[in-house]
Structure formats: C-alpha cells, structure tokens
Amino acid sequence: MDKNAILDVLVVDDDADFARFVKGVAESIGLRAEVLDTPSEFKTKFEALRPATVVLDIAMPGIDGVQLSQWMGQQFLQHGQQCRVILVSGYGVEFIRLCSSIAALSGLENIQGLSKPIEHGALAAALTGEGKDQP
C-alpha cells in the first residue's frame, strides 16, 4: 500500500450492499476502508484521505465512474497524486475495458477492471494488487 495514503481503500458505489461487501473484504485482509454511496462527495474525500486504492462503480447516477476516473487522472497529471483504481460494473467485460481505456487516456496508470458479481477471493487479490482483470 502507498505509505503516503491516509486510507487504504475508498469504495464508491451506489449499491450499498456491494459497497459493504467490498469494505468487509478489505477489512478481512487488514485494510482500512471507507464507503461512499454517492459520488457527490468523492472529490473532497479523495483529496482529504489520499486513498491507496479506489474501488469505483462505473455506472452511478449523477457523476459516473468514468468522469471520476478522468478527474483522478487530472489530479495525477497536476499534483502527482496517483492511486490504484479498480473499476467495477455489472455491464460486462467489454464495457469495463472501454472505461478502463478512457481512464488510462486520462492519466491513470494502475487500473484494473472487475465484472460484478465478484467473488471474495478475486476482490481480495485485486485489493492487494495481486489480482488480474476478470475474463
């Protein structure tokens, strides 16, 4: 994990059950996690907490995960604030790949995509940096 991070994992997902699942998995492997169920507070929390990893739902009402990943890319380019990003969605692998490409073009370097539903082991591996994108 990033030694400059105040928080290990910031979860942003409008599905409260899934967000709690991610937090539970993170905490079960010894990571500190916080959940946001709306994307509206994300920028403020991201800047304040400097998370090492962000688990980001792609499809959310209002500001979506692609827009937030673009903003994170701008933060990296402007301030050097980089973190691992795990993009999640129930819309399938191709959608996640497209969104991951957009995030990479925005300046993010460490992006992984996972398709919902996600198994505990796959999520734990992703959170520790050992996982690979789901096929």
Which domains, ranges and CATH numbers included, belong to the chain?
9-127 (3.40.50.2300)
How many angstroms separate the CA atoms of 62 and 122, rounded? Answer: 28
Task: State pLDDT tens for residues 72-118.
Answer: 998 888 877 778 999 999 998 999 999 999 999 988 989 999 999 99
pLDDT interval class at 35 (50, 70, 90): very high
Reference 7, options 32, 30, 36, 42; nearest CA is 32
Tell me the mean pLDDT in the region 41-47: 91
pTM beyond 0.85: the answer is yes
Main-chain dihedrals φ then ψ at residue 31, nearest 5 degrees: -100, 145
Write down the pLDDT at residue 115: 95
Residue showing tokens 């973190």? 83
Query: Which residue, among 123, 128, 130, has the nearest Cα to 21 in the 3D structure?
Result: 123
pLDDT tops 70 at residue 133: no
Alpha helices in 2-92 (DSSP H): 16-28, 42-49, 65-79
- Mean pLDDT rounded to a whole number for the chain: 89
How much of the chain exceeds pLDDT 90, in percent? 67
| pLDDT given at position 135 | 44
Q: Under 8 Å CB-to-CB from 36, ≥6 apart: which residues?
A: 10, 11, 12, 13, 19, 42, 45
| pLDDT on residue 118 | 95
Q: What is the mean pLDDT of residues 42-47?
A: 92
- The C-alpha angle with vertex 63 and arms to 60 and 66, in degrees rounded to 5, equals 80
Residue 67 predicted with pLDDT over 70: yes
pLDDT of residue 25: 98
Q: 104 — alpha (psi -120 to 50), left (phi > 0) or beta?
A: alpha
